[in-house]
Every structure is written in structure tokens, then in C-alpha cells.
Amino acid sequence: MEDEEGGSEEAVLARRQRKEKKELQAKIQSMKNSVPKNDKKRRKQMTEEIAKMESELEEKHKQELADLSQNQQAETEVNSISNGVTSLDIGSDVPAQQPRVSKAQKRREKKAALEKERDERIAEAEVENLSGARHLESQKVTQILSLRQLQIKQIPSDGHCMYRAIEHQLKERDRDDTLTNLRRQTADYMLSHVDDFLPFLTNSATGDMYTQDEFEKYCTEVASTPAWGGQLELRALSHILKTPIEVIQADVSPIIIGEEYSNKPITVVYMRHAYGLGEHYNSVEPLTVTSAE
């Protein structure tokens, strides 16, 4: 069977499936890079999420191969029946065979059916999510921000979200502190104020406080990897920027870090249920009437 896009349908399907596998592996690698190696809880969640994605892709590919085989078998049977009819006498009482459906038409019909099925799955997921933790959290945060004439500014979930949220806030104030500089300054500040940060870091495996070597390794990851940032890094940034940082959450009152400074606070949003791996930071921006939120 030849496909209009070049090569047989089997070859086209094989190429697409190889591409999807490569894309999944790239996504998995990005997820692994975004979770600190010493955070066993998040890495366990990530491992489960990866296994689920790999299983779903494998099942999808198996179903596609089965569908292709079934379509080819059906087409063979149609061709066989069609050839038998042409050998009959014109005066035969056998009903005329229906016009043969072209390969292109079959592909269009199959594509339409798959798109319909996908739309139905999306609709079902949206309905289910209306009562989910992620949706409820988003609603609460949206209400809190709207009272201030603000809305969420979505930040990519790539391990840099907290720093990107701060970067966005600073750009709104015409400051050009880049993500790279913010990470480096945070690590340098923590290293130069060990006693302010080391007591709050513990080894997730043993429960013991970090050693000096572990703390230095932690700071190296802050500076040069997509390691997630949290309250300790926000504390360091508030001192670096000499500015309070306000953290808005759905179910608790806003937290102010760096209250000793008098500048207008930088505001970020902390989401517990934003993504499959859990916590995420977003920024804020002025509320607009066209906001989808």
C-alpha cells in the first residue's frame, strides 16, 4: 500500500511512531533534569509519571498497528469481491458492487474518527477536572488576584519557574536581571551566608542536616542546573534585591519574605497542583478584560 505522503502506509506509521518515541524521550530527559537528585519524593512521583507516559505511548502504537493491519485486511477482501464481480456475466442477478472507496478517502475518514475520539477524551477530561484539585486551586487564586486587579502570568514548568517568575516581575520594573544571573547570585549569597541556610537543609534519605560538602553541591545545582527553587532561595533573592517577595497561595494568607525592606513587594503565585509533578510558581500581571481566566 502506498501513501500519498511518500512510502507505504506501514513506513509512514513507523516513521511517525519513531518520532513520537524520540519526543517522549526528550520530554522525559527534561523532566529528570528538572527534579533535584536528592529529592526522593519528587523523583518517585516523576518515575511513576514517566512509566505512565511510556505505557500509554506503547499502547497507542500497538493500537495503531492493529488498526492498520485490520484496514489492510478489509481492503484485500473488498478487492477480492470486486474482482469476482467483474468476471460475472452482465445478465447475472447478482447485485452490482458498491463503488470502491479510495485510499485517500479512507485515510480522511480514519483521521476524522481519530480527531472525534480525541475531542471526546478532552471533553471528558475537562468535565472531570472541574471538580479536581487543580481547577479548584486555579479558581481560588484567580479570585484572590482579581480583587487586586491582577491575573496569573503563566510561566513554563521547566525547573526554572520560580526564577522566571522573579525575572518577569523585575522586567515589569525595567530591571534586566536575567534568569542566569538570578541563579548565580542566589547561589553566591547562600554560600556566603552558610549559617542562615544550612540548618534548614536535610538529607532526604537520612534526615540529617546537610554536611558542608552537601551544601556546596546544593548551591552548585542552584547556580547551574534547572533545580527547583523554594522558600530558601526566595529568602536569598529578597536580600539580593533588597525587596520583599510576596507569595500568593490558594488556601492560606499571602506570605511575605523580606519584610524588613520597604520597596514595593514582588508578587509571585505558588501552585500546589499545577502540574503532574506538583508544585509550580507563576508570576502576575495586570488584569485584562480579555483574560481567559
Least confident of 54-68, 72-86, 138-152, 186-200: 72-86
Assigned fold of 133-286: Cathepsin B; Chain A (3.90.70)
The x, y and z cell numbers of residue 2, run together, are 502506498
Kindly tell me if the per-residue pLDDT of 172 is higher than 50. Answer: yes
- Say what the pLDDT of residue 256 is: 96
- Say what the pLDDT of residue 158 is: 86
Burial (CB count <10 Å: 0-12, 13-18, 19+), residue 167: buried
Whether residue 61 lies in the annotated active site: no
Q: Answer for the pair 194, 215: CB distance below 8 angstroms, yes or no.
A: yes
pLDDT tens for each residue of 222-258: 999 999 999 999 999 999 999 999 999 988 899 999 9
- Say what the pLDDT of residue 87 is: 44
Whether residue 158 lies in the annotated active site: yes
- Say what the pLDDT of residue 72 is: 75
Average pLDDT over residues 4-10: 63
Rg from Cα positions in the chain? 28
The confidence band for 291, taking pLDDT boundaries of 50, 70 and 90, is: very low
pLDDT tens for each residue of 73-110: 777 766 665 555 444 444 445 555 666 777 778 888 88
Residue 144: half-sphere exposure toward Cβ, Cα within 13 Å: 20
- Structural domain spans, the chain: 9-80+104-129, 133-286
- Choose, from 160, 168, 239, 280, the residue flagged as catalytic: 280
- Say what the pLDDT of residue 90 is: 44
Kindly tell me if the per-residue pLDDT of 28 is higher than 80. Answer: no
Average pLDDT over residues 269-285: 81
* Closest alpha carbon to 52 in 18, 23, 24, 20: 24
Percentage of the chain beyond pLDDT 90 is 42
Percentage of the chain beyond pLDDT 70 is 81
Could you say which DSSP state residue 4 is in?
T
Sheet containing 150-153: order of strands: 150-153, 278-286, 266-275, 245-248, 255-257
Rounded to an integer, what distance in angstroms lies between the CA atom of residue 61 and that of residue 67? Answer: 10
Average pLDDT over residues 170-195: 95
Q: Which long-range contacts (CB under 8 A, 24 or more apart) does 203-211 make?
A: 203/38, 204/38, 204/39, 204/40, 204/41, 205/38, 205/40
Between 5 and 280, the more confident residue is 280
Distances (CA, A) of 186 to 189, 220, 239: 5, 10, 9
Residue 104: half-sphere exposure toward Cβ, Cα within 13 Å: 3
Contacting residues for 76 by C-beta, under 8 A, at least 6 apart = none
- Rounded to 5 degrees, φ, ψ at 279 are -60, 150
pLDDT tens for each residue of 185-204: 999 999 999 999 999 999 88
- Say what the pLDDT of residue 88 is: 43
Planar angle of CA 209, 213, 217, nearest 5 degrees: 100
- Letter for the amino acid at 194? V
The confidence band for 123, taking pLDDT boundaries of 50, 70 and 90, is: low
The model's pTM: 0.55
Average pLDDT over residues 143-161: 92
- Choose, from 161, 177, 219, 239, the residue flagged as catalytic: 161
Average pLDDT over residues 22-42: 75
Between 43 and 183, the more confident residue is 183
- Say what the pLDDT of residue 243 is: 97
What's the mean per-residue pLDDT of the chain?
82
Rounded to an integer, what distance in angstroms lies between the CA atom of residue 253 and that of residue 140? Answer: 12
Rounded to an integer, what distance in angstroms lies between the CA atom of residue 21 and that of residue 95? Answer: 48
The x, y and z cell numbers of residue 187, run together, are 547561589
Whether residue 160 lies in the annotated active site: no
Q: Answer for the pair 241, 9: CB distance below 8 angstroms, yes or no.
A: no
- Say what the pLDDT of residue 289 is: 63
Least confident of 13-17, 97-101, 241-245, 289-293: 289-293
- Choose, from 67, 93, 158, 213, the residue flagged as catalytic: 158
